[in-house]
Structure 1
Amino acid sequence: MRIKWFSLVRITGLVLVLTYHFFQTQFTGGFIGVDIFFTFSGFLITSLMVDEFARSDNFKLMAFYGRRFYRIVPPLFIAVLLVLPLTYLIDHDFVTDIGKQVAAALGFTTNYFEIATGGSYENKFIPHLFVHTWSLAVEMHFYILWGLIAWLVAKISRRLASGRRALTRFRWGLGLLTTAFAIESFVMMYFGAVGLKDFSPVYFSSLTHCFPFFVGGLIGVLSGIKAQGPIYRWTTAHCNPIIAGAVMLISFILLVALGDRMKFDALQTYQGGLLLATVLAGIMIYGARLLHDHTPNLKEPRWMTFLADVSYSVYLYHWPLYVIFSHMMVNWLAALLTTILSIILSALSYYVLEPVIAGKRAHVFGHTLTWRQLQLPVITAGVLLAVNTGVVVKNAPQLSTLEQNLWVSGIYQDIDKIGTTHEAVLAAVTPKKKQATPKGDQEKTPGVSIIGDSVTLGTRSYLGDHIANSNIDAEGDRTMNLAYKVMMNQQRSHTLRQYVVICIGTNALDDYEEQTMKIIHDLEPGHKLILMTPYNARADADWNSSKLAVLERRLPAKYKFITVADWGKIAAQHPEVFKGTDGVHFGGIRAGDILYAKVINQALQTAQKTPGKPA
């Protein structure tokens, strides 16, 4: 039994996800589309469980697992095989460690693989081609667990009663469990998000992000599909098409508004935002269910049914295709080509390949196709694609060029730190004649101390050769408060040089202004401070890194010992430096090294004409 208007729910989830991935800086909260999918899956699966028990007084676990397997696994295998040949169109770095990505995707463990490797849709380096399959992992974990629980509840319900009473016990059992599991999962996300800078662990985890399934499951218990619950029967008796349609429309508008406002890196997203999206999705589902019963003579448009049918496969294809195309062409064209090709491949998968793989007949434009007719071309193509997959996996690098660059730079930096520490120890134990020096007139160690993040680390070797008398301390994911600690440690050990260059900001937190002012106030007199503005090609004006750049540009007017090295402005004028990168790092691209060093050197020349920090 197909419920009309459920297609709108699935299409809403798909459009939100695609818009988020295509236009991440403009539509920052579209990731809630996944929560719509989760809620709908929980609703549909639990409703069908209730229907099966009502019909047969039983729930067959292995049959349930079999249906889920054929719906989820074949499209995923097909998508992986078809996507990998397209990786030849882009830089080899994009298949870095692809074997583990494929294994995690096909093994439905991508969510925990991404947590372990620090992956995210907002990855700072090369985005994983199959990071989006994290949601399939969570979904599969839900199916395995919830199917087993429903089977146990069905056995207990049959043992305690029979007929309608058994069905009532089955509903009550599932209802209480969905409520308990939903509350437990959300509470784990709520408290698990506290203190995190990167929220991927609570976003990807099956334990903390399974509550939408159980919220949907609770709605499924209350409404059902054929075996309607008493609450749903009362609701539909007091409803009409206008009310049902209005419920759907209002919830849709609110979901879009939420997608426009929510942010992945905001704490409130995990302490209520995703729950609100889930509740709105549940209301939209309930409204669609009511509208179905109140529009018996109205057919769902064919285009709507088609998009709903292929939505799962479109989700599978869109992310790797977009990653590939977005590094070959302008963004709007990449989004358009990704959408068109995803729909074509998804239609081929859903209407042709999946049915014949399951032993059914495929119906295409009025023609019936069977496995016997498609056997030779399908097997031949499958073998060729499987061989190609093996070749791609075998030849894939374990580290991207940028990661190799950062790794090597980190080793050289550690060596340099050992030398610097040795010099500081010798200086500390060597007796010196004490001389009275007026406060604020101390001469500082000549040279340049550069304190930076992963952008600086990526070009560290070049900077060391092209910025005279410089000492560089850089580290990935470094924020302004961590830069402050490095500066203060060097200051206490008397290794901080006269010119202090702070190249921090891409990872700016909400307290960026407070931490910047701490650096300014606690820097000892006599030093000259150079602040390098951050650059992120994806950043909007309301990003912390952008707001930090605005703050830094204002500071020289108030503090004469501060000079701005405006990397944010200069880098934006040279997009070629970031071609094929994440729009932040350029490690390994010589033109980027040259430009970065030039910006610092120009700022140093300007700083020579400014006074040191007064006492």
Structure 2
Amino acid sequence: MRIKWFSLIRITGLICVLLYHFFQMRYTGGFIGVDIFFTFSGYLITALIIDEFSRSQKFRLRDFYYRRVMRILPPLVLMICIVLPFTLLVGKDYITDLTRQITSAVGFVTNIFEIKTGGTYESRFIPHLFVHTWSLAIEVQFYLIWGFLLYLLTKVSTSVKQFRLRVLAGSALLAVGSATAMYLGAQGLSEFSPIYFSSVTHIFPFFVGSVLGSIAGIQDLMPAFSASVEKHWTKNKALAFMVINLALLFILAYFLRFDRRETYMFGFILASLFAAGAIFGANILHRKTLDVKEPQIFVYLADISYSVYLFHWPLFVVLSKQFSNGIAALLTTILSVIFASFSYYFLEPLLRGKPVSLVGREVNFKQIVTPLGGFMTLAIGFGVFLCLQAPTISSLEENLMLGGIQQDVGKLDMAYAKATAPKNETPVAADQNTGIPAGTTIIGDSVTLGSRSYLLEHMTDVDIDAEGNRTMNLAYDVLMNLQNSGQLRKNVVICIGTNSLDDYQEQTQKVINDLKPGHHLIFITPHDGHADSSYNSYKLGVWERTLPSKYKFITIGDWDQVARAHQEVFEGTDGTHFGGREDASKLYLDCIQDALKRAEKTPVKK
């Protein structure tokens, strides 16, 4: 039995995800499209299992797993085989760690792989081609666990009513437990990807759907629900309820941000509840419009939605490096629809043993065995070739790693030199009145770390302390340690802000207030290639530009302005980092040195 209007739920989820990936700076919360899919899957699977138990008093677990594998695996394998040749259009960074990416995807453990390797959903480096299969991993993990638990429940339940109530109670308990784990896990975090990827913290949308599925199923309904539909719900009321919930999902997707704690405390649970509300409304609308035919375009888009989701991300990652964002989005959509249609309407039915009509001729599985076998042989061979060529880490990550190692070695050399220096050795030049060492101290984040070697080669009397993912509060700690140990030089350059927390003003003000007299303070505005005016990094830059009018000892080096005027130097990067690129490093150096020259014309802090 096909429920009309469920197509709109799937289409909404797909649109949200596509808008987010294509236009991330404008549609910042579209990632909840995945939660819409999660909620719908939880509902559908639970409702179908209850229907099966209601019909036969049995639930065939092996058949359930077989159906899931045949629906999920063929499009996934096809996607990997088709996408890999596209990687020839881009550099090797885009196939970084390809072997583990592929094995994680087909093994349905991408979410675990991303957590273990420190992956981020909003990647700050070269994005993994198959990072989007993290959601598929959680879905399969849900099917394995939930299917087995319901199988056990069928063995100890003596009636459909008892089974349904136990499913309802178990779903509610697991939904609350997982949502609570996400709520608590979000406290104190600045990088939310680990709890986003985790099955424990992000599986609750499935169970929200399961709660609904145990009440308002597909064929076998809870009597109270059935009576309520007949008594209280009209076609117009059901339509309005569905539309309102879908609208709320789009509104939520427009305002949510991946890097905001509120998203994890409330956003995802709201998305799941709105999705459940839309499913509920669609279910009732179906029962009130039995004589109405659903538009075929809705059915078609819903049918291919899963495969479009699979194809769109890696294709967009590659094509967005060849074309403008709009053209890449258009080409990605067209190719994804073509490949998804081929998978759903041709390949998958044949693999399940169903003949397919093609150009007026009937085609069966036996007829495609030879060409399919040849295609798979070529695809596997090409995949092995690419895996052998793939680097373990991207050039950007390698650059940052080397920068960190060189910085650590430099610190050890300085400590050793200081410990073994003769007592009468001439110390670093310092101001006679204040005792503050001359020169410059740069405190930076991963952007600075990537260009650290270049800066040291082209600057004199400079110390650089940089670290990836450093926020202003951590920079403050570094500043205080250097100041208290007498190592903080006269010119203090703060290159922080790409990773900005909500309290960026408060933390920056602490730097300003607690810096001792005798120093120039230079802020280098942060540049994030993905940021718009809603991002904290952008807001920090705007606020920093106001500081020289309030504090005469503060100078601004406007790296964000320079970077936006020279976007060509970020080609092939994530739009923020440029470590290892001499043209970009020179621009960064020029920005810092220009600020230092201007700072020398201003008074030090009194």
Specify the TM-score bucket, using the shorter chain as the normaliser. Answer: over 0.9
Which one of 278, 281, 292 corresponds to residue 298 of structure 1? 292
Matched, 1:553 2:559: no
Please give the per-residue CA displacement for 1:154-190, whole angstroms capped at 9, x wherever unaligned: 1111xxx3xxxx1111111111111111111111111
Residue type at the aligned position of 2:35 = D
Matches within 5 A, 1:527-606: 527-606=519-598
1:5 maps onto 2:5 in alignment: yes
Which residue identity does 1:201 align to in structure 2? P
Cα deviation, residue 36, structure 1 = 0.7
Once the two structures are TM-superposed, the CA of residue 232 in structure 1 deviates from its matched residue by 2.3
SS of match in other structure, 2:556? strand
Distance 1:449 1:65, change over 3 A: same
Once the 2 structures are TM-superposed, how far is the Cα of residue 468 of structure 1 from its aligned partner? 2.0
Q: Which secondary structure state, in structure 1, belongs to the residue aligned with residue 104 of structure 2?
A: helix
Superposition misfits of 4+ residues, deviation over 6 angstroms: 426-433
- Cα distance, 1:426 vs. partner? 6.2
- Please say if 1:49 is aligned against 2:49: yes
Q: Is residue 281 from structure 1 mapped to residue 275 from structure 2 by the alignment? A: yes
Structure 2 CA distance for aligned equivalents of residues 148 and 204 of structure 1 = 23
- AA paired with 1:233? S
Aligned to 1:515: 507
- The partner residue of 1:498 within 490, 498, 501 is 490
> What corresponds to 1:489 in structure 2?
481
Q: Secondary structure at the match of 1:531?
A: strand
Could you give the per-residue CA deviations for residues 439-496 of structure 1, whole angstroms, max 9, x where no partner exists?
xx31421211111111111111110011222111111111111111112211122221
Contact 2:472 2:496 in 1 (8 A): yes
* 1:371 maps to which of 350, 365, 370: 365
- Give the match for residue 165 of structure 2: 172
Q: Shift in Å at residue 301 of structure 1? A: 1.1
2:403 to 401, 405, 409: 409
Match runs of 1:191-590 below 5 Å:
191-238=184-231, 239-364=233-358, 366-425=360-419, 441-590=433-582
Q: Distance in 2 between matches of 1:429 and 1:508?
A: 43
Amino acid at match of 1:538: H
Counterpart code for 2:287: D
User: CA 1:584–1:285 in 2, change beyond 3 Å: closer, same or farther?
Assistant: same
**2:178 — aligned with what?**
185
Query: 1:580 and 1:217 mapped to 2: Cα distance?
Result: 43
Structure 2 Cα separation of the partners of residues 363 and 33 of structure 1: 33
Matches of 2:119 and 2:317 in 1, distance apart? 14
CA shift digits 1:276-313 (9 cap, x unpaired): 11111111111111111111111111111111110000
Q: Which moved more, 1:56-65 or 1:401-410?
A: 401-410
- Once residues 383 and 216 of structure 1 are traced to their aligned partners in structure 2, the CA distance between those partners, rounded to angstroms, is 40
CA distance in 2, matches of 1:496, 1:236: 72
CA distance in 1: counterparts of 2:360 and 2:175, whole angstroms: 45
**How far, CA to CA, are the matches of 2:52 and 2:531 in structure 1?**
50
TM-score (norm 1): 0.95
Instruction: Evaluate the alpha carbon distance shift between residue 152 and residue 527 of structure 1 in structure 2; reply closer, same or farther with a 3 A threshold.
Output: same
Alignment CA distance shift 1:428-1:329 (3 Å): farther
Q: Which amino acid aligns with 1:145?
A: I
- CA shift for structure 1 position 427: 7.8
Which amino acid letter does the alignment assign opposite residue 446 of structure 1?
A
In 1, the alpha carbon distance for the partners of 2:556 and 2:425 equals: 39
Q: Deviations over 1:239-283 (max 9, x none)?
A: 221111111111111110011111111111111211111111111
The offset of 1:421, in angstroms, is 2.5
CA spacing shift, 1:244–1:25, aligned 2, 3 Å: same
Confirm or deny: 8 A CA contact 1:443 1:526 kept in the other structure. no
Counterpart of 1:19 in structure 2 is 19
Q: Do the aligned partners of 2:121 and 2:193 also contact (CA within 8 Å) in 1?
A: no
Structure 2 counterpart of 1:87, which letter?
T
- Report the Cα distance in structure 1 between the residues aligned to 2:155 and 2:423, rounded to whole angstroms: 79
Distance 1:262 1:309 in 2: 28
Shift of 1:424: 4.7
Shift in Å at residue 54 of structure 1? 1.1
User: Which one-letter code corresponds to 1:363 in the other structure?
Assistant: S
2 CA distance for matches of 1:237 and 1:279?
23
Output one character per residue of 1:398-421: Cα deviation in whole Å (capped at 9) or x when no partner.
111111111111121112112333
Pick closer, same or farther for the CA change 1:427–1:552 going to 2, 3 Å.
farther
Distance 1:140 1:241, change over 3 A: same
Residue 62 of structure 1 is matched in structure 2 by: 62
In structure 2, the CA distance between the partners of 1:404 and 1:606, relative to structure 1 (3 Å rule), is same
Q: Which amino acid aligns with 1:600?
A: I
Contact residue 153 and residue 163 of structure 2 kept, 8 A: yes
- The alpha-carbon deviation at position 341 of structure 1 amounts to 0.5
Taking the aligned partners of 2:565 and 2:262, their CA distance within structure 1 comes to 35
Measure the CA separation in 1 of the matches of 2:250 and 2:579: 38
**Whole-angstrom distance in 2 between the partners of 1:205 and 1:2:** 32
RMSD (Å) for aligned C-alpha atoms: 1.7
Deviations 1:21-50 (A, max 9, x none): 111111111111111101111111111111
Whether the 8 Å CA contact 2:494–2:522 is kept in 1: the answer is: yes
Q: Tell me the distance in 2 between the aligned counterparts of 1:409 and 1:268.
A: 34
Alignment partner of 2:200: what SS? Answer: coil
One-letter code of the match for 1:136?
L
Relative to structure 1, the CA distance from residue 422 to residue 524 in structure 2 (aligned partners, 3 Å threshold; closer, same or farther) is farther
Q: Any idea what SS the aligned residue of 2:595 has?
A: helix
- Do the aligned residues in 1 keep the contact of 2:407 with 2:465 (CA within 8 Å)? yes
- Determine the C-alpha separation between the residues in 2 that align with 1:428 and 1:312: 70
Could you tell me how far 1:430 is from its partner in structure 2? 6.8
Could you tell me which runs of 5 or more consecutive residues in structure 1 were left unpaired when the two chains were aligned: none
1:105 counterpart = 2:105 = yes
Amino acid at match of 1:511: D
Aligned match of 2:144: 144
**In structure 2, what is the Cα distance between the partners aligned to 1:250 and 1:532?**
45
What secondary structure sits across from 2:173 in the alignment? helix
Q: CA offset at residue 211 of structure 1? A: 1.1
Structure 2: unaligned runs, 5 residues or longer: none
For 2:194 and 2:264, the matched residues in 1 are separated by 11
Q: What SS does the aligned partner of 2:522 have?
A: strand
Q: CA deviation at 1:431?
A: 11
Q: Aligned AA for 2:263?
A: T
Following the alignment from structure 2 to structure 1, what is the Cα–Cα distance between the partners of residues 197 and 113? 10
One-letter code aligned to 2:535: W
SS for the counterpart of 1:86 is helix
Q: Distance in 1 between matches of 2:426 and 2:366?
A: 92
Which segment drifts farther, 508-517 or 83-92? 508-517
Tell me whether 128-137 or 113-122 shows the greater mean CA deviation. Answer: 113-122
More deviation, 311-320/366-375: 366-375
SS of equivalent to 2:545: helix
Letter in 2 for 1:199: F
Aligned positions, number: 602
